[in-house]
Amino acid sequence: MATGLPEDMDLDQLRRYVDFLLYHYRVVDAFWFIKVAEHFDQATAERLNEEVWEPAGKLGARALRQRFDLEEKGIRGFVQAQRLYPWCALIGYEIEEDDNQASITVPSCPVQRARLDRGDGEYACKEMHRREFVAFAAEIDPRIRVECEFAPPDPHPAECFCRWRFYLEPE
């Protein structure tokens, strides 16, 4: 008889459970942000989000490296770790890479879409993601640099919310 614990689940149940964990992770993050903005203000919620996601990026990259024995450095190592990062699956990152650089594009951000659907408007996520990506990248390889092409509050094309570029600092 199954107890409902992950070790008793078949592969299909385990996949559904991982989907639930990712969904719930996003729900908790969303309500945390919404409640901070309601109890304080939008600027405070955005600032706290920046302060939370910087160490989250660093610790996430570190945990992925340890749990999955990721030893590759450079752009390949960054992309390898980023593909395992929960937000890649949650947001639907489109990742392109070559030997010298990578880009992450977010065609349709579920977080921003939900805000727009509620009539809240986009929130300024650029600095939060910059800090998260810089910390994540540095944990993989300190030579990796992060450049934001655009992200809210920047104007962006209708078909894309943000685009980021990652490259190795020239020697």
CATH of the domain at 93: 3.30.1380
Whether residue 3 lies inside any domain: the answer is no
Counted domains in the chain? 1
Strands 101-106 and 162-168 turn out to be: antiparallel
d(CA 55, CA 16): 28
Q: In what order do the strands lie in the sheet with 144-150?
A: 94-97, 101-106, 162-168, 144-150
Cβ-contact 150, 163 below 8 angstroms: yes
Whether residue 1 lies inside any domain: the answer is no
Q: Which residue range(s) make up the domain with 46?
A: 10-168
- List the pLDDT tens digit at each of the 171 positions of the chain: 455 567 788 999 999 999 999 999 999 999 999 999 999 999 999 999 999 999 999 999 999 999 999 999 999 999 999 999 999 999 999 999 987 899 999 999 999 999 999 999 999 999 999 999 999 999 999 999 999 999 999 999 999 999 999 999 877
Q: Which two tokens stand for residue 26?
A: 């996003």
d(CA 10, CA 12): 6
